[in-house]
Structure 1
Amino acid sequence: MKKIAALFGAGFITSSVFANVAQLDAQLKSQYPNLHFKNIAATEMAGLYSAKLDQQIVYLDESGKHIFVGQMLRLKDQKNLTQDLIKTEPSTKIDWHTLPFQDAIKIVKGNGQHQLAIFEDPNCPYCKQLEPQLDKLENVTLYIFLYPLRPQSLLPSKQVWCSVNRGYAWKNLIQRNLQPNASQYCDHPIDRNLLLGKKLNLVGTPTLIFPNGTMKTGLISAEEIQANW
């Protein structure tokens, strides 16, 4: 009887969650017909739902009156639940040859045989954590597309591009948090990069694009990077 009661309770909870998701979906479609929310799902936090809007992970309260944009972390183990959602998104193929490499910082290691394009925000913590993994790579050409999603990242991104040695300025900024000592007033590609990211439906940083067209978002290991070459 206890097992039956437990199963019944679990079934009731699951049905209730699905009902709430369906109710929220219907409410959003009724009140905001011009906004197209996809993949609405309950999160670990009671009364908060995740969804996809304009290629971005967002969060909604159960009333459908408020929307939250940002990263959700679980304090217990510091797990980034938003990154987990991003990783479950279907992989998207990019035409490598259409990328405007002239708008990226080019860094060559060794013979530069392997290639990798990365969209990065200098204040993105996962971009900073990606750096040690990139340092492990050998014989690679990196194309760093400055992609300042955060307002505070706009100025240093422009200053990096306007530096005499962009690769050196970028490494100092992303690895050592040393602000570039350069003007922001030069012909920079930042606006074009932001438009390109929107066109490519980038959902966050870092986003890595491989020559075979594979696109991956989030922190990945050097071994996983090499496996995609």
Structure 2
Amino acid sequence: MRSILTPLLFASGFFMTACGASESTNQEATAQDAGASTAATQESAAPASGEENAELQAVRDKLAERIPDLASSELRPTPLEDIYELSRGMAVGYVTADGRYLIEGDLVDLATGRQITEERRREARLEVLEDAAARSISFGADDAEYLVTVFTDIDCGYCRKLHDEIGEYNERGIAIRYLLYPRSGQNSVSYRKAVATWCSEDRQQTLTEAKQGVDPGSKSCSDHPVDNHLLAGRKLGLRGTPMMVLPNGEVVQGYVPADRLLTRLETDPAQDPLAVR
């Protein structure tokens, strides 16, 4: 889990049904720069005194005395008296009203089973995807009941297995929206293939052929979204492909067969169908 006290990316474990990421040093430097830029944006966006109620502002002032950087994080009340949620992207923690104690860990309502911290992470994931997924490669009907976002690498074995079964997902009412995530980073063969796929005349066909081992070539275009997809994956703490993000923001690591995925979508009462997507 990502700590609210560190700039490290949120990192959940992944199953052996995922291809592990191994990005270049150049790529990680880019990620660090992006993280610094995000932190700067969040600091400048921190509410001014007049924009926040006195209760929250008092907590923020206490934080500023002890750890100034934390004072720029998003702050909101929780169901617990004198305990406030502190969040920055996927990182979520809790702080006491006097600003003295920081609690790192998940908050769960044992009476209802509600996973309060995970709900906040899901919201944050969907916010990250809102921009990145606006430019994606989709398979499935526009009126499919469910839309699942998948970070995919053309050269990942389990990504290829998933795509081999794309018809099975679609038949079960699951549309798949791909974001291109070449795990080896920029200036790699996988990155070149991802860009060429996006810049091709028929992205669906080119992606399908590429996952079958056909090299898509070196075509390029200036407005491709691959870098944006890479950044989104890092923000979500991606450590392997494929990585699925369900409509409610839940992350499923690795390859999951269509039947099992449909069961997960149908049996989760918090899952939102895609009637309003």
The answer to whether TM tops 0.5 is yes
Distance 1:112 1:199 in 2: 27
Q: Which stretches of structure 1, 4 residues or more, deviate above 3 A after TM superposition? A: 53-58, 79-83, 94-98
C-alpha contact 2:193 2:217 (8 A) present in aligned 1: no
Q: Which residue of 2 aligns with 1:130?
A: 162
Q: Which residue of 2 aligns with 1:157?
A: 194
SS of corresponding position for 2:214: coil
SS of corresponding position for 1:118: strand
Q: Which runs of 5+ in 1 are unaligned?
A: 1-35, 37-52, 59-70, 72-78, 84-89
Letter in 2 for 1:180: P
How far is the alpha carbon of 1:108 from its aligned partner? 2.2
Distance 1:182 1:173 in 2: 12
How far is the alpha carbon of 1:221 from its aligned partner? 1.3
- TM-score, length basis structure 2: 0.48
C-alpha contact 1:158 1:190 (8 A) present in aligned 2: yes
C-alpha contact 1:162 1:186 (8 A) present in aligned 2: no
Q: Which residue of 2 aligns with 1:148?
A: 182
Deviations 1:150-206 (A, max 9, x none): 2220001000000111111111111x2112256113310111111111111112100
Q: Which residue of 1 aligns with 2:232?
A: 196
Q: Which residue of 2 aligns with 1:67?
A: none
C-alpha contact 2:244 2:251 (8 A) present in aligned 1: yes
SS of corresponding position for 2:122: coil
C-alpha contact 1:163 1:181 (8 A) present in aligned 2: no
Distance 2:144 2:217 in 1: 28
Shift in alpha-carbon separation, 1:173–1:199, aligned structure 2, 3 A = same
How far is the alpha carbon of 1:56 from its aligned partner? 5.3
Distance 1:57 1:82 in 2: 13
Aligned residue among 93, 108, 122 for 1:93: 122
Q: Which runs of 5+ in 2 are unaligned?
A: 1-5, 20-105, 107-117, 266-277
- TM-score, length basis structure 1: 0.57
Distance 2:16 2:255 in 1: 11
Letter in 2 for 1:149: R
Distance 1:179 1:80 in 2: 26
Percent identical pairs in the alignment equals: 24
Shift in alpha-carbon separation, 1:55–1:152, aligned structure 2, 3 A = farther
Q: How much is the aligned-residue C-alpha RMSD, in angstroms?
A: 3.1
Q: Which residue of 1 aligns with 2:215?
A: 179
Query: Which segment drifts farther, 178-187 or 142-151?
Result: 178-187
